[in-house]
Amino acid sequence: MPRVAVAALVAVAFVVALLGARWRAWLEPTPEDTPPTSVIGPAALFATALPDLEGKLQPIGRWQGRVVVLNFWATWCAPCRREIPAFMRVRRKYAVKGVEFVGIAVDTAKNVSAYVREMGLDYPILVSDDAGMILANRAGDTSEGLPYTVILDRDGRIRTAHLGPYTEDVLEQRLLALLDDAQQHLPKSE
């Protein structure tokens, strides 16, 4: 085998080894989430506004008081598309408990609108370009990978952050833990 071919194979193997853990996170997510390392507080997060599918600015604060699953995604992202049906099922199951899903599509409005119609997405979708990735970065996504999901408590604090697709059961575990925690802090009735 020529030296150039051997050197190329070694270089490819080296790159695969370096990126292996990052790619595995997208392909086979672990049940552990990353600790929230956001640099954005609840007030700034709630004040952030992005356009909806009609182009009207919607502040994230619109959902204050609910547990919010804030998902950064794109139509061209296969892992993003795979987790959306689970998000819709979990949303329907937990909406009565004050849970809302909000998708922030890092894509064009045209692509997102077509995909929303095709999939029948039933939760709020905001559309962004670089602003969505900047917000994701401020919410702890320093790798700039998609999908990236943060779960906010009712006060807008980021309680968990997850890079890669969520499985339905892990997402439900995170929500139940947060809802149980919130229930424990409610005033006791006499």
The domain ranges of the chain are 1-30, 32-184
pLDDT score at 36: 59
List, for the chain, all residue ranges whose pLDDT scores fall below the cut of 70: 1-38, 182-190
- The beta strands (E) that lie in 30-168 are given as 49-51, 57-59, 67-73, 99-106, 125-128, 148-152, 158-163
pLDDT score at 189: 42
Class of domain 32-184: alpha beta
Q: What is the pTM for the complete model shown?
A: 0.78
Task: Please list the active-site residues.
Answer: 77, 80
